[in-house]
């Protein structure tokens, strides 16, 4: 470090993650998740950054899972020709995933 430059103090860390999921029929869903942490004196900014990155990645994976479950459930709806593709999951599974996601969003 140059002797005339004062060491900077990191006060805030922001971590973002983005993932796009192909939902078929030339459509997709894109999730963008960002978390910001305000550091306190004595916090290890590298450790905080790693923890934020883990939290953002884990939450993004939950949203991706939810999106894929929804896509699978919607494949059991008849298309324009009346053909129905059997979904490999029960409606209760989607409803449970929906409730779990709603709880997580409310408690975030």
Is 5 part of a structural domain of the chain? no
- Residues in the chain, pLDDT under 50: none
According to the model, what pLDDT value does residue 9 have? 78
For residue range 27-50, list pLDDT tens digits in order.
Answer: 788 888 899 999 998 899 899 999
Is 90 part of a structural domain of the chain? yes
According to the model, what pLDDT value does residue 48 have? 92
- Closest CA relative to residue 12, chosen from 44, 36, 43: 36
Sign of the Cα torsion 53, 61, 97, 80 reads positive
Is 23 part of a structural domain of the chain? yes
According to the model, what pLDDT value does residue 47 have? 92
Q: How many domains does the chain have?
A: 1
Is 2 part of a structural domain of the chain? no
Structural domain range at position 92: 12-77+85-107
Is 91 part of a structural domain of the chain? yes
According to the model, what pLDDT value does residue 49 have? 92
> What is the pTM for the complete model shown?
0.56
């Amino acid at each position: 470090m140059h002797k005339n430059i004062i060491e900077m103090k990191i006060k805030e860390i922001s971590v973002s993650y983005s993932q796009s999921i192909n939902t078929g029929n030339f459509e997709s869903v894109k999730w963008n998740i960002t978390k910001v942490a305000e550091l306190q004196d004595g916090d290890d900014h590298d450790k905080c950054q790693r923890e934020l990155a883990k939290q953002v990645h884990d939450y993004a994976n939950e949203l991706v899972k939810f999106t894929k479950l929804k896509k699978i459930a919607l494949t059991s709806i008849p298309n324009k020709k009346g053909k129905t593709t059997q979904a490999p999951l029960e409606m209760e599974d989607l409803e449970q995933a929906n409730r779990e996601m709603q709880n997580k969003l409310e408690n975030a």
